[in-house]
Amino acid sequence: MKRSWWKEGVVYQLYPISFKDSNGDGIGDLRGIIEKLDYLKELGVSIIWLNPIYKSPNDDNGYDISGYRDIMDEFGTMEDFDVLLEEVHRREMKLVMDLVVNHTSDEHPWFIQSKKSGTNPYTDYYIWKKGKDGKPPNNWGSVFSGSAWQYEEERDEYYLHLFSKKQPDLNWENERVREEIYDMMTYWFEKGIDGFRMDVINFISKTGEFPDGQRRQDGLYGDFNPLVLNGPKVHEYLQEMHRKVLSKYDVMTVGECPGVSPELAKKYVGEDRNELSMIFQFEHMDIDHDGCKWCFKPWKLTKLKETLSKWQEELESDGWNSLYLNNHDQPRLVSRFGDDKEYRLESAKMLATMLHTMKGTPYIYQGEEIGMTNVRFDSIRDYKDIETLNAYEEMVKGGIMEEEVFMDGVYRNGRDNARTPVHWDDSENAGFTTGIPWIKVNPNYKEVNVKQALANKDSIFYYYKRLIELRKEHEVIVYGRFKEYYKESEQVYCYGRELDGKRLLVVLNFKKEEVDFEIPLELRETHKEILISNYRDVKMGDSFTLRPFEAIVFMM
Ligand code: TEU
Ligand code: CA
């Protein structure tokens, strides 16, 4: 397996609007990020991934871009960006940007031209179709509610928008569109950035025909997924992008790829495929609901283990995994997979242990390193996410779901759970802003904040820091072969890693109940040291009792 910096590093995902506000307008910004770079250096991460910071009307928090070579007004200027990049590099860290090229904003100059009647160079930059009997070209529903098609009077045609109607899908079949995108990527690489996280990159190739999709669970619209995801030319496009841009730089790429199995993943990340460094897969993000995002279904540990282990084994010798348990689109990991009350500390550390001892590159989402939790706002009016707000209109106002059931779905799975401001200290608004924050702060900031974490050697923060150091000290954590034990256990996740005779054994109790544990037979009676654990006075020996959410990593 080839070695590289992006396999050995740890990524910190930074959602700028909620990270740190430097000028009191309630919105996080680039100067705020610069202020906090020493904090990230102290944590030990080596790569920072910024969610979109480009010019945007902010219909979907920057995922609707109206200027790919400009900085969003609220976030600062290109000068601020240049300083940020320099300051990141000066601290020997890398900077990865978001690349959102499945769609643009409807306020992007290309779209403003494209929607005009008659022909101009931009006519075919987007996906336009004639309606059918006064209705959209097909029954596809958008991810953000409503039809995936929007009528445009001037052209007397509909344009496709898989996300909001302010996010028209680009037409990748058009070579000029692809060239514009490659030029724009080159512009950022020439500035010196170190990679891209590519938004829904497996959606870019849409088939020539646009048949109706199967009715979704909500009964309202058809599902575009099987007809759009991993389309026929996606690999051709990515290889072209690699040839024309990526191959010229030493950079990392991570493709966001909903609906990708390990078999398919190998096509995107296989070492000799010349496409991407790694992808974000979603299988483990779907274990507590299916079909309907707002309908909770209790998850089983065996299912989570089966999914994660499968990815470990399938990409063992070809390809590379990304390891994440939450991000700006997902609820907080400790609320979802751990216990955000009595055992917040223990379970956050246990989950971190898993994240940092599997094979792949770990991604930490801002606030995760201090154990931030989901939030419950009483009123829908306190929510800001377009997905949540549109779904509320469609589902609750539309009489499809009871308000209470829907709000339970939002509390568990809504995207704003992860988007509340980072808690820097226990002062008003958690030290995020001196003004009024764009979204309310999680009320638990007095107990959960950076200041408190830095003052306590037993904090979740220092546990993450130690995990990141261990990765630098022990190659087996990065490159070791994965092997699972006790697959059928509903309580314990146990696996080993092995490289050149060095072995790790990871033991994780996922429940608040105690459980008796025995070291796997083949590893008994070998000398073991404890590399890290989330409790003091860990008992040695071949059998012992695991305490609530206990995590132990043995080295042999
Ligand atoms: O997300 C794409 C995506 O498919 C999901 O993660 C989606 O946001 C979620 O499942 C909705 O339930 C990416 C970005 O990460 C997200 O923030 C954007 O809103 C979306 O693309 C559109 O650009
Ligand atoms: Ca600001």
Cα–ligand 1 centroid distance for 427 (angstroms): 32
Domain, as residue range, for 130: 104-171
Give residue 385's pLDDT.
Answer: 98
Catalytic positions, written as ranges: 199, 256
How far does Cα 70 stand from its chain's mean position?
23
pTM of the complete model: 0.98
Give residue 539's pLDDT.
Answer: 81
In a domain, residue 472? The reply is no
For atom 20 of ligand 1, the residue with the nearest CA is 63
Do residues 411 and 436 share a domain?
A: yes
Do residues 257 and 114 share a domain?
A: no
Cα–ligand 2 centroid distance for 98 (angstroms): 20
Q: Tally Cβ neighbours within 10 Å of residue 433.
A: 25
Q: Is the CB of 60 under 6 A from ligand 1?
A: yes
In a domain, residue 473? The reply is no
The contacts of residue 287 (CB under 8 Å, 6+ apart) are 299, 300, 303, 304, 307
Structure tokens given for 95? 């900077």
Do residues 116 and 255 share a domain?
A: no
Q: What is the secondary structure of 467-536 as a DSSP string?
A: HHHHHHH-HHHHHPEEEEE-TT-SSEEEEEEEETTEEEEEEEE-SSS-EEEE--GGGTTS--EEEEESSS
User: To test the ligand 1 pocket, which listed residue (164, 199, 229, 292) has its Cβ within 8 A of the most ligand atoms?
Assistant: 199
Cα–ligand 2 centroid distance for 433 (angstroms): 8
- The model's pLDDT over 334-380, given as tens digits with 9 standing for 90+, comes to 999 999 999 999 999 999 999 999 999 999 999 999 999 999 999 99
Q: Tally Cβ neighbours within 10 Å of residue 228.
A: 24
Do residues 338 and 328 share a domain?
A: yes
The residues pairing with 48 across neighbouring beta strands, listed in sequence order, are: 12, 95
For atom 14 of ligand 1, the residue with the nearest CA is 199
Give Cα separations from 445 to 108, 368, 450, 485 (angstroms). Answer: 38, 13, 9, 39
Q: Is the CB of 169 under 6 A from ligand 1?
A: no
In a domain, residue 316? The reply is yes
Q: In angstroms, what is the C-alpha Rg of the chain?
A: 23
CATH classification of the domain holding 233: 3.20.20.80
Q: Is the CB of 163 under 6 A from ligand 1?
A: yes
- The CA distance from 245 to 236, in Å, is 14
Give residue 218's pLDDT.
Answer: 84
Do residues 262 and 411 share a domain?
A: yes
Give residue 525's pLDDT.
Answer: 87
Do residues 393 and 449 share a domain?
A: yes
CATH classification of the domain holding 145: 3.90.400.10
Do residues 437 and 486 share a domain?
A: no
CATH classification of the domain holding 496: 2.60.40.1180
Do residues 195 and 313 share a domain?
A: yes
Give residue 235's pLDDT.
Answer: 98
In a domain, residue 475? The reply is no
Give residue 348's pLDDT.
Answer: 99
Do residues 94 and 108 share a domain?
A: no
Element (H, E) at 310: helix 301-314
Q: Which residues surround ligand 2, an ion (CB under 5 A)?
A: 21, 23, 25, 27, 29
- The model's pLDDT over 191-245, given as tens digits with 9 standing for 90+, comes to 999 999 999 999 999 977 899 999 998 889 999 999 999 999 999 999 999 999 9
In a domain, residue 518? The reply is yes
Do residues 352 and 366 share a domain?
A: yes
Q: Is the CB of 199 under 6 A from ligand 1?
A: yes
Q: Is the CB of 275 under 6 A from ligand 1?
A: no
Give residue 217's pLDDT.
Answer: 86
Contact 1, 314 (CB under 8 A): no
Number of structural domains found in the chain: 3
- In this prediction, the residues of the chain whose per-residue pLDDT falls under 50 are none
